[in-house]
Amino acid sequence: MNIQRWVARREQTWKQLEKLLNQVEKFGIKSLKAKEIQTLASLYRSTSADLARARTQQVGNLLIENLQTLATRSYTQIYQGSHRQEWQAVRQFYLWGFPAVVQQTRGYIALSTSLLLGFGLVSWWLAWRDPTFLSLVVPESLISQVRDRQELWMGSILGIEPFASASIMVNNIRVSFGALAGGMMAGLGTLYIMVINGISLGAIAALVAQNNLSYPFWAFVFPHGALELPAIFFAGAAGFLLGKAIVFPGQYRRIDALRLYGQQAAQLMFGIVPLLLIAGAIEGFFSPNPAVPSLVKYGTGILLFVGLVAYLSRKPSV
């Protein structure tokens, strides 16, 4: 390749690209007409090809650096708009989209909530009346710690808060996505997870109540539970949406029902991830902290729950 001839032939293209870039960097991409934007994209592609050729032909470091700078500037201006739109879409989802999908799927959320809390109440009643049932649900070591030593188990978190918080986040996300995946078993897997979690919560509540530890126990649960439990309910709803698509597709073909309800399920799961992360941080650092009075923990939990309800009740202004 005759390098001087090639540079002379391509130099005008690079100058044209640099002129457009100077305008965009000074006045913004909106200052270009539609045809100029197309030209900018075309010049970027051709300059990138020139850069690749210059590297293989070893035309000189200065020219390669200049072409690299042009390509980088072009990429930034062409694709920064799409990145901004992506972040804008995420922002709009959390502002309005997530509350909207929660409102649209409130029936499924009510189902998962009723199952967990309903079996929790049944479990509480059985554990209160029958020590044998309690021993079947709660590990004997935990029963001994609460009943014999009059101690709750939250103190084990102290001193390892970062590790505990990360572990809690991972576990909560695992349970939530397990509830979602359970929907692919015609909803039976989701049903199982809601029931098991309800039974476990009810039995533990009975154990601490029998030993007069309910007040510190629920003081621990309230702050993070205000976000964590609703997130689990939403995950259960997502699983039941998939189960409905499989078992009761209605007027849709099963594949179309999966696409429709699967989209709602995905939106629910996307929405609960921040809730689980925040809840995990609270459970690791705030809930077990003995320096925080129990009354403050109760108040924090109530405020978080009220705030969550207010947020999820939002409707776009017409």
* pLDDT tens-place string over residues 70-124: 888 888 777 765 555 667 778 888 888 999 999 999 999 999 999 999 999 999 9
Amino acid identity at 304? L
Collapsing DSSP states into helix, strand and coil, what is residue 33?
coil
Cβ-contact 287, 221 below 8 angstroms: yes
Q: Which residue has the tokens 């870039």?
A: 21
Cβ-contact 108, 233 below 8 angstroms: no
CA distance 114 to 237: 11
Cβ-contact 221, 154 below 8 angstroms: no
Q: How confident is the model at residue 203 (pLDDT cuts 50, 70, 90)?
A: very high
pLDDT at 317 over 60: no
Long-range contacts of 56-61 (CB under 8 A, 24+ apart): 57/1, 57/3, 59/3, 59/6, 59/7
Encoded tokens for 116: 């967990």
List the single range of 22-26, 123-127, 164-168, 286-290 with lowest mean pLDDT.
164-168
CA distance 208 to 154: 13
pLDDT tens-digit series, residues 126-153: 999 998 999 999 999 889 989 888 888 7
Per-state percent for the chain, helix, strand, coil, to nearest 5:
85, 0, 15
> pTM (2 decimals)?
0.74
Which pLDDT does position 35 carry in this prediction?
83
Mean pLDDT of the chain: 88
Which pLDDT does position 75 carry in this prediction?
81
